[in-house]
Structure 1
């Protein structure tokens, strides 16, 4: 069993049970300072804790009063439990207070420790080791030397059976802060070696152990030791936060100004940290709550205009303000806020100002003011109002933001003849309303004198309005516009002129001011806006002073325009399945109601019953087909009249066509020429291409001699010639152009000659060299390479491509500069057949393409070509009909006829 000797240092622990015992005893009565009792962990009701020896005391004067529900003290000093009580492992402590014979109150401490026991197997009870459960030790911070000092004694019950020694370990002993505590090994006395600061280390917890001196074996379990550092008042309170506050002037008594905040580092909850606040100055105006530090006003007479800032000294003292408490002082600044308790005042009692009549707008007077309130705030910023004399709006007032002065501006010129003097009342006020005062806004009079000026004439009215119907005859009087002298009120000597008349529609009589029509007035003119035409006039008196006025002419409308169709060229896209189409027709009338819309539409007298009119709105109709119509151009007469029945018949053109994206597809050139026309043109192009190839071949071979098979006729061979002169004339019998139609029986035609013609190619060549058709040309096309060139019919030879090939001797026999001979007729026939096959393949290829892909190259089949077409109706297979019919060659002209004769043998 361990026991702990507890000193008076443990008397400051929390008391769980307080039993107040008032004892009146005699001088021989003795009550011990403390007692210790061993109890079970759970103490039952009625258990006797201990008995206080009161045998020598006067028990008749003993009075017991229990304030704890768990324990009671009987009259004989016996302490008994009245409720089941738990005793913790570290024990339980309570105090009994009594009064000694001298009348002083004292405490007796009662310490309860657990009496633990363990049951053995044989049923006997054996006492077990108790764990160390000491009360915390206390030391005083910043204790004065000398050191070391004894704290308390730790003794173990095992010291009765063993020769023991004690050790300590942990913070304050072997850990930081090292060396604060130690223990006397032989006796167990705890010592402290230096002063401790509670604000740094308020508590130490370390471990005590007990060992046998001979075996070094522990004779008891380790015991935690707690040492509390008792606080001393070694820290003065300090201020926290700012000490600057604001309160409005004239605030009521008790208005909160602000709160002073302070802290103390000593132990909370003690008098060492209980701060009391007080004011050392400014107590006539302010008060501070001694416990909370809240500063309030003590009067309602604070005046910012007298003193706008107060400085008060605040004292803070701990120990609840006791004289031995530590203290600090600081100065708090209290700013007095402004309220608008001072209205602006004028420096003078009245003001006078002179203004000339007709004077331009501008500043005419400055009015200074004074205001005691805080500058550049709504309480100081002024506002000025003219309360009387400005009914016509001739003046306005503003504030100068820099000087706070009132500024009077003239906004409209004054007229001396109407008003020679004006008396104004000007009131000054602030942006903020007045408060805390009985004063009112003040006003002063301002006398405005108007000076006289010689003025120009004035029209009887600044603006005059006349109503005139358009197309009114010239020289018609529409009114009179005159002016008077403002001083004499007379019109004598005043002349009138136009300043502005954009369309020159009006004449002004210089002497009388009469207005007459000079030119026809047209309401639909761009000079008229919303039916109004303006003329500006000028009046000039004898002194050359002028005045201006405006004449507004309201132009009345006449029905002088008929409805007109806006777009007369319309497009109607052809629809599939025989569906009837329609187009929109819109009309416009420059007149206004009731001389314009709604319009009436109907077909003209000479319409063809192919169209019908369907109303859409007041200005438009739909022109719709009544029957299926082929593509083409159609004219439709339409009669359009306005609401009054005035109108005319107009013709619109409707184009029916195949469309793409709302637009007609491009027309094909091939349909206008016909298939045989295209073939004829391609034939000529192929022949010219052949000639170009031959010329290129001759240039390449240069002087090499080539023998060509002569088929018995050398008339088609070209001869080498340096002659650049004209060729031989062509026999007139070779050029026969039928006057009408084509007849195979006509002698001299190409068909009649059976493509034989004249074999005298020299004559043909001579004819080619002439310029019988000025400006004519032949297109030579390379069908494989897409190359084309144009040769002028009058200069087929010459220097083309660098060579010299005279066509004046086309039938001579030598084709180029070299010696070449060949059967011209056979060569041309072979090329004719080759090109014919190529053209047939080309036509077949193009016929397989989509309609829109090669719109310029494809031959389309149409069932109807329209009225008047020279080609007539073209069927889907017309390009294969009459392939042997060559009558069209008779209409190709003399040059194509010569080519045909060249390319044809007998």
Structure 2
């Protein structure tokens, strides 16, 4: 067995906090270290473990911190730490307040990760009440080794001074919620109560009061800006709103941005201002065979007012129906009443509906009442009293004619009426022609001639207006070509006889003038120049026609001097008529 090398401490007191690790070089030799022996070496690291042999120690005996008086509760006021040379669990410690002039205002706890003492606020601060606080804080090790108690106490203390700094605070109400009561009969301007606020700062600024209109949208109340007196601004109605929860603002005059808030809880007290009415809209049915004294309806009432003004209720028939022979009413003394029949033998044919006025009175002071009408319908009931048909007697169909047959007949009648309307509408949609085709159609009255005109700009080639008013142009003495008396029909036998006694040119001229007069005086003539075609039997024609188609001699020439004499404008017309031989003229 090889011998072992044992490493031992050489110093009586080793301190980890001074040096926590040592490096050793160990050499081993054989032959008991004699000459010629062999040796080997190795390194050994010796680490010292920690023991709790050091108490916590504050670096200072006095710490000072400043905080605002507006600091919220539970906020951190300060952090401090006691130093401990030990490590791990040997360095864990607890902090506590062991003395001071602020009991319950502050508290201290330990941060488990950093082993710091955290001082936090437990109550609100008020600079005007106390400017500073003094706290005595102790830090103590949690794990103490009894063998090291001779080193001294394993704890330390320090003093923490907290300075409170002044903040310009908003006004504070003497009571956060002010409860008030007012009658709903209160007149406008009635004083309800008073709210009070003060400036907590030493400056003691004046206060102005106002109402948050978001909590009083209909502006039922007013508050005096200087005194804080609350009064009514409108009539109140408990049945609409029985409690008003309004917010009151208190603003400093010196700094309007600082606003305090208070609540005014206003309860509206009830008065008897609502009459009782039926609880529901009753539908009362009465069988024709109802017996006298039979209960046909039980009624109750409601009142918007609160008791005792609203209850109990008293029921009776209105004065106008107190002595009727059909119904009576019994007050059940439990805010209900029963309606009973007084006779039998009700018939729908005689009267199908009865209106019964019921008087309801409440117990307020003064009492209020209302008259409510109960409608009673007479019904045809079966043997068990179940209504089968109520109200007025319906119209009965003739015997043997069912409802389906009646509906079929009505449907046929409606269909016939619709067909008749459609036929009338189709007839009205047919358009009547503007002119009769046999007399007014101008599409066939077209004259073709071989005269080559000068185009659209040649207004002298063909002037229909000049031809239509030929007599006016040629004879300046004639002012009106419209005949004052009905003209003679040029197609009549008398007209043709008179024309034959005149020369040919005169006959044709007279014929044209007569046709012009007839056309100008015709109210149904088109409102534009048109071609008029005439068939006339003049002198010298074997067939009695103006046309050259049946003339005995095609070489005979007709004279149109009466057109030429009118001037050069009608020269072309004269030549044209000479070519056409009087077959057509313009009017």
Q: Scaled by the length of structure 1, what TM-score is found?
A: 0.32
Greater RCO (Cα-Cα under 8 Å, separation 6 or more): 2
More strand by share: 1
More helix by share: 2
Q: Scaled by the length of structure 2, what TM-score is found?
A: 0.47
Give the structure with higher Rg (CA): 1
